[in-house]
């Protein structure tokens, strides 16, 4: 009897460990791409449950929460409508679990958007209000209309929390006038006292996405600085690493591309809109940075990269994933974009997740064709272990962030847009994808590569006419494609040299075909190809 119980317990534990899921919730025609992804964030509890927060309109005055179990079942769904001191709590992206409490960062302001201040909201496990703490006014900031804090960037060695916010107000002199000054806060661990604040011109500090505390007490901040204000036009020059002291005084700054691309090497950094280069501490002397690069020769083709930087801002190692193919044509969706908020995470430094999406249009800031979520897994030496693609179902996916989970996998938060044949958005919804340590929805069997619902390769467009593009995981070697007609006769075979390749099919007649994509003569993907 004991043996049976142990066996059942073992099965249950393994099922829990490998439980993966893909769900879409809140189908609606009212979601706005930038605002919905703007507030989308997920965190994991100690008992392997997930809280997901999001907002569904541009002014973000409706804060929604989902609570999921490890199998993706919705345990709780709640809209938080908090009125505090005759003011309304407005949400951005700050949500954390601290001391068994759900901590939400946002803005408390009047309904006419005036008299705003950064506010920390504390909720219990049932998402009920416990208390709040409004940060004190900052001298020089008057007639505030917005105070949007980001997620906590760091818990420092003193046990205090640091986060960044921006304010819709003028603060600097006429020659330095900015409508969006940035603010750094340091608050105590009980959220009862503000230790210090510092206001920065966005030319110096803007959209901080990562913070690292050095042994000497100084901080390194990764931010989208290099903002020049010309009348009402802001021009971004890329990511920057800024060093500040413990009193938040700027000591030095250095552009990220000067570290990883001295002389540019035909690449420049992309960091526009709300997409960020992000990072995570690797060890006591180095940190990881996840970024996106574009070709100077073809600004609409991009790829993802990852780098290890030491605390003296010297590059230790770097790698890029994917080939740039500027000749693929108007239907190309080979260019890749990083996730909007957080695109790098890990619990095991030998299994690092980097997540983005394909089909990104730089000029529009949005994927405009059916695309895929792209999952890269690299080891500590930054070698690509695997690259998988999820989607390809005539929908558009825009990824918000990746969360490495306690079971070794990762949870991906995204928006899913259902479109018609004219690429008009019919409805959109919150899409949550939970994959295992291999980046797939199913365990990987070493004897069979193509047993996962996440793809190692795909063809687009499909249906097609004159050409097809083949994209496969950049880690794969000896890749080829073969196409068969309806009688199973092989009519095309081609070895592929690059992970994004274009193949001429003008000689093929209209009809249905079967294609195989192979690696080392082993089929990794097989589907129907329609030529019209």
Output the DSSP codes for 221-232.
EEE---EEEETT
pLDDT confidence of residue 179: 58
On the question of a cis peptide bond just before residue 463, with omega within 30 degrees of 0, the verdict is: yes
Query: Is the pLDDT at 269 greater than 80, yes or no?
Result: no
> Is 17 or 78 the better-scoring residue by pLDDT?
78
Nearest to 512 by CA among 456, 461, 462: 462
- Rounded Cα distance, 299 and 293, in Å: 9
Which of 340-344, 406-410, 446-450, 502-506: highest mean pLDDT?
Answer: 406-410
Instruction: Spell out where 335-440 has E strands.
Output: 336-338, 344-348, 351-358, 360-361, 366-367, 372-378, 384-391, 395-404, 410-419, 425-435
- Rounded Cα distance, 186 and 245, in Å: 13
pTM, two decimal places = 0.88
- Rounded Cα distance, 89 and 63, in Å: 9
Q: What mean pLDDT do residues 109-125 have? A: 82
Helix (H/G/I), strand (E/B), else coil: 4? helix
- Rounded Cα distance, 439 and 389, in Å: 9
Q: What is the pLDDT of residues 442-483, one digit of tens each?
A: 877 644 444 567 899 999 888 888 899 899 999 999 999 999
Place 220 in a pLDDT band, splitting at 50, 70 and 90. very high
Place 181 in a pLDDT band, splitting at 50, 70 and 90. confident
- Maximum CA extent, the chain: 81
Nearest to 493 by CA among 511, 484, 455: 484
CATH class of domain segment(s) 457-532: mainly beta
- Rounded Cα distance, 291 and 288, in Å: 10
Query: Is the pLDDT at 146 greater than 70, yes or no?
Result: no
Q: What mean pLDDT do residues 319-327 have? A: 61
**Nearest 10 degrees: Cα torsion 358, 364, 365, 371:** -20
Question: Cα 257 to the chain's mean position, in Å?
Answer: 20
Q: What mean pLDDT do residues 45-53 have? A: 91
Helix (H/G/I), strand (E/B), else coil: 509? coil
Q: What mean pLDDT do residues 424-432 have? A: 83
% of the chain at pLDDT higher than 70 = 75
- Rounded Cα distance, 327 and 498, in Å: 13
pLDDT confidence of residue 226: 46
Query: Is the pLDDT at 206 greater than 70, yes or no?
Result: yes
Query: Where do the structural domains in the chain lie, given as residue ranges?
Result: 457-532
170 and 115 Cβ atoms separated by less than 8 Å: no
pLDDT confidence of residue 272: 42
- Rounded Cα distance, 291 and 363, in Å: 18
186 and 198 Cβ atoms separated by less than 8 Å: no
């Amino acid at each position: 009897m004991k043996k049976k119980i142990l066996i059942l317990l073992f099965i249950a534990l393994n099922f829990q460990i490998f439980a993966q899921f893909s769900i879409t919730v809140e189908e609606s025609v009212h979601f706005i791409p930038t605002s919905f992804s703007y507030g989308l964030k997920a965190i994991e509890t100690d008992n392997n449950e997930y809280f997901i927060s999001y907002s569904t309109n541009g002014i973000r005055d409706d804060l929604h929460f989902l609570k999921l179990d490890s199998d993706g079942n919705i345990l709780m769904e709640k809209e938080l409508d908090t009125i505090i001191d005759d003011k309304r709590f407005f949400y951005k992206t700050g949500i954390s679990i601290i001391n068994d409490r759900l901590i939400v960062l946002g803005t408390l302001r009047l309904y006419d958007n005036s008299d705003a201040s950064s506010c920390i909201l504390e909720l219990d496990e049932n998402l009920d209000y416990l208390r709040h703490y409004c940060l004190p006014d900052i001298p020089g900031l008057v007639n505030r209309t917005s105070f949007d804090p980001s997620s906590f960037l760091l818990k420092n060695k003193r046990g205090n929390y640091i986060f960044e916010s921006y304010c819709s107000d003028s603060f600097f002199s006429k020659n330095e006038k900015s409508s969006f000054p940035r603010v750094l806060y340091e608050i105590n661990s009980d959220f009862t006292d503000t230790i210090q604040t510092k206001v920065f011109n966005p030319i110096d500090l803007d959209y901080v996405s990562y913070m690292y505390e050095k042994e000497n007490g100084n901080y390194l901040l990764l931010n989208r600085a290099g903002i020049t204000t010309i009348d009402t036009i802001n021009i971004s020059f890329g990511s920057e690493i800024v060093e500040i002291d413990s009193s938040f005084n700027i000591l030095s700054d250095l552009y990220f591309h000067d570290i990883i691309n001295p002389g540019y090497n035909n690449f420049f950094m992309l960091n526009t809109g709300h997409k960020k280069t992000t990072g995570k501490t690797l060890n006591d002397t180095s940190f990881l940075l996840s970024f996106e690069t574009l070709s100077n020769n073809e600004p609409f083709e991009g790829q993802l990269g990852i780098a290890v930087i030491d605390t003296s801002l010297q590059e230790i190692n770097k790698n890029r994933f994917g080939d740039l193919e500027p000749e693929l044509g108007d239907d190309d969706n080979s260019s890749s974009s990083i996730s909007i908020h957080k695109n790098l995470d890990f619990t095991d430094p030998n299994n690092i997740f980097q997540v983005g999406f394909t089909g990104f249009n730089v000029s529009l800031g949005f994927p405009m064709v059916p695309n895929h979520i792209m999952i890269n897994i690299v080891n500590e030496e930054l070698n690509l272990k695997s690259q998988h693609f999820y989607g390809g179902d005539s929908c558009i996916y825009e990824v918000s962030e990746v969360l490495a989970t306690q079971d070794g996998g990762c949870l991906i938060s995204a928006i899913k847009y259902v479109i018609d044949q004219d690429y008009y958005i019919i409805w959109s919804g919150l899409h949550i994808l939970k994959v295992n340590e291999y980046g797939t929805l199913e365990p990987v069997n070493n004897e069979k590569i193509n047993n996962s619902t996440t793809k190692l390769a795909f063809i687009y467009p499909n249906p097609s006419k004159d050409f097809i593009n083949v994209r496969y995981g950049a880690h794969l070697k000896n890749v080829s494609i073969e196409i068969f007609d309806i009688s199973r006769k092989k009519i095309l075979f081609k070895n592929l040299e690059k992970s994004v390749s274009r193949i001429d099919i003008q000689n093929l007649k209209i009809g249905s075909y079967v294609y195989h994509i192979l690696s080392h003569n082993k089929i990794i993907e097989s589907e129907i190809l329609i030529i019209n």
